[in-house]
Amino acid sequence: MSLVALSEMLGAPVRDASGVVRGRVREIAVAPQEHPTRIAYFVVRTADGERTLSPDAIKSAGATVRTTTEPTAWERYTPSDGVLLLKRDLLDQQIIDVHGRKVVRVNDVEMESTPVNNHLLLNVVAVDVGARGAIRRLSKGIVPSFTLRALLDRIPPRVIPWEYVDLLETDPARRVKLKIAYEGLSKLHPADIADIVEDLAPAEREAVFETIDEEVAAETLEELDPDVQKAVVESLDKDRAADIVEEMDPDAAADLLGELPEEKSVEILKEMQPEERHEVTHLLEFSEHTAAGRMTTEFIAVPETAVVDDAIEALRRFEGSREAVATIYLVGPAGKLVGSVPLVKIAISSPAAQLSDLSDPYVACAPDTPESEVAALFDKYNLITLAVIDEHGRLAGIITADDVIAMLRAR
């Protein structure tokens, strides 16, 4: 078992059993639908056109490739969308390093070659993104290969194992064929995904947002820089955009749609589920720089007569963001706000305790309160959430501390 680099094999002479050169390696292909890492074939340029050479007929591979068969036995090469061509699709291209959480450029591809019954098994194991691959490619053909190997052995490798590599492919049909699903990427924290996405070109961003799970896409979108956010949503088709926007916090969704050109935001709203659409359009009516523009309409409110157990039940059923559950609000008849209970008090009280006994005097503001005053209220009362009430004293929405921090940072 040994490691062999893609750049070593590209251009390598292919010799038959008697040692005669029958062609040169032009490409190396993986067929992800058959096997995720195994080399399916070499594309060899021969005197009689391009042909594919399967590793089943290869005895050894490196700076020279030795085969056991004749070129007449090799199939003619026909380009196909369904295979990953290591030189064209990987070498010098950008990939996502899921483990290191960044976008990197590939200097070389490392394969593991295992001899099995007189032929080879070749598997892609890692991509080289460091100096070793760079120097190998610079000095190939200039420095003798044994000197080069000795030199390269001294350079510490910087490789990314293949399982942490997510490829960037902008053609949706080809993504399916190559089984690129951004599974690794989707498992990262949305804030990290957002950092990665900001480093990509627009078409690649679109590819990521078309592919990843709607919920993850929504959370990632919220973390993006507003300009990038806008560009991404504009690039998506309206169905997909609506699916993602539905999953966003209503306040973030409203901010985003408010930034888009009107025809685009109307188009997206039309595609949304009635309930989410209603919430978002309601928020859209307010100026972005007021309490109402910043608030979310997803919060937990229980009747003032409720006990701790009821609050916990409400928590279980709540689907909004985690930031919003820090406070449970108590409402009287007609939704009038009467009190607020911090989550901590609920955690330490007995299930039968009356919430009205645990309630703090609540702090609230009007929908048209300017955002600077909202921040001042958070500061003065050390709030985690702030209630927004309408002219009848009814609870209209809440503002969470993370929104206030974002708002202050944006200044």
Partner 1 sequence: MKLLRKEWRTRIALFLAVVGPGFITANVDNDAGGIFTYSQAGAQFGYSLLWTLIPITIALVVIQEMASRMGAVTGKGLSDLIREEFGFRLTFVVMVTLVVTNFGNVVAEFAGIASSLELFGLSRFVVVPAAAAVVWLLVVRGTYASIEKIFLAASGFYVCYIVAGLLAHPDWKAAAIATVTRPKSIGIRDYSYVSMVIAVVGTTIAPWMQFYLQASIVEKGVTVRQYRTSRWDVILGCVFTDVVAWFIIVACAATIYASGGPMTLTKATDAAPFALALRPLAGEYAYLLFAAGLFNASLFAASILPISTAYAVCEGLGFESGLDKRFDEAPVFYWLYTLLIVLGAGVLLLPHVPLVYVSVLSQVANGVVLPFVLIFMLLLTNDRELMGDHVNGRGFNIVAWTTVVIMVGLTLAMFVWR
State the Cα–Cα distance between residues 21 and 19, nearest whole angstrom.
6
Q: Which of residues 348-377 bind partner 1 (CB under 8 A)?
A: none
Element (H, E) at 116: strand 108-116
Q: Within 201-348, where are the H helices? A: 202-211, 214-223, 226-235, 238-247, 250-259, 262-271, 274-284, 291-294, 308-317, 343-348
Measured from the CB atom, the residue of 188 and 358 that comes closer to partner 1 is: 188
Tell whether residue 171 is a contact of partner 1 (CB under 8 A): no
Measured from the CB atom, the residue of 44 and 95 that comes closer to partner 1 is: 95
* Binding characters for partner 1, 74-93, by CB under 8 A (x = yes): -----------------xxx
Report, in Å, the least distance between residue 134 CB and partner 1: 7
Percent of the chain as helix, strand, coil, to the nearest 5 = 45, 25, 30
Measured from the CB atom, the residue of 119 and 230 that comes closer to partner 1 is: 230
Report, in Å, the least distance between residue 105 CB and partner 1: 3
Report, in Å, the least distance between residue 88 CB and partner 1: 10
Mention every residue, 6+ apart, whose C-beta is less than 8 A from residue 222: 190, 248, 249, 252
Is the torsion defined by CA of 216, 217, 218, 219 positive or negative? positive
Report, in Å, the least distance between residue 245 CB and partner 1: 20
Selected binder of partner 1 within 63, 104, 155, 401 (CB under 8 A): 104
Report, in Å, the least distance between residue 108 CB and partner 1: 9
Which of 83, 108, 125 lies closest to 9 in space, CA to CA? 108
Q: Which of residues 283-312 bind partner 1 (CB under 8 A)?
A: none
* Interacting span for partner 1 (CB under 8 A) from 98-106, 215-223, 345-353, 367-375: 98-106
Report, in Å, the least distance between residue 60 CB and partner 1: 26
* Binding characters for partner 1, 115-134, by CB under 8 A (x = yes): --------------x----x
Mention every residue, 6+ apart, whose C-beta is less than 8 A from residue 264: 233, 234
Cα-Cα-Cα-Cα torsion 319, 322, 323, 327, nearest 10 degrees, comes to 70
The dihedrals phi and psi of 186, each to the nearest 5 degrees, come to -65, -25
Report, in Å, the least distance between residue 286 CB and partner 1: 25
Report, in Å, the least distance between residue 93 CB and partner 1: 6
Residue positions counted in the chain: 411
Report how far Cα 33 is from the mean position of its chain's Cα atoms. Answer: 22
Report, in Å, the least distance between residue 264 CB and partner 1: 12
Measured from the CB atom, the residue of 16 and 192 that comes closer to partner 1 is: 192
Tell whether residue 102 is a contact of partner 1 (CB under 8 A): yes
Measured from the CB atom, the residue of 21 and 203 that comes closer to partner 1 is: 203
State the Cα–Cα distance between residues 222 and 224, nearest whole angstrom.
6
State the Cα–Cα distance between residues 208 and 188, nearest whole angstrom.
13
Query: Exposed, middle or buried by CB within 10 Å (0-12, 13-18, 19+), for 146?
Result: exposed
Q: Which of residues 175-204 bind partner 1 (CB under 8 A)?
A: 199, 201-204
Tell whether residue 314 is a contact of partner 1 (CB under 8 A): no
The dihedrals phi and psi of 388, each to the nearest 5 degrees, come to -115, 125
Report, in Å, the least distance between residue 64 CB and partner 1: 21
Measured from the CB atom, the residue of 200 and 366 that comes closer to partner 1 is: 200
Q: Which of residues 140-159 bind partner 1 (CB under 8 A)?
A: none
Phi-psi region of 129 (alpha: psi -120 to 50; beta: other; left: phi over 0): alpha
Measured from the CB atom, the residue of 113 and 211 that comes closer to partner 1 is: 211
Mention every residue, 6+ apart, whose C-beta is less than 8 A from residue 185: 96, 98, 166, 193, 196, 208, 212
Which of 365, 373, 376 lies closest to 398 in space, CA to CA? 365
Measured from the CB atom, the residue of 45 and 119 that comes closer to partner 1 is: 45
The dihedrals phi and psi of 56, each to the nearest 5 degrees, come to -60, -25
* Interacting span for partner 1 (CB under 8 A) from 55-63, 104-112, 294-302, 358-366: 104-112
Q: Which of residues 209-268 bind partner 1 (CB under 8 A)?
A: 227-228, 231
Residues near partner 1, by CB under 8 A:
91-94, 102, 104-105, 107, 129, 134, 137-138, 199, 201-204, 227-228, 231
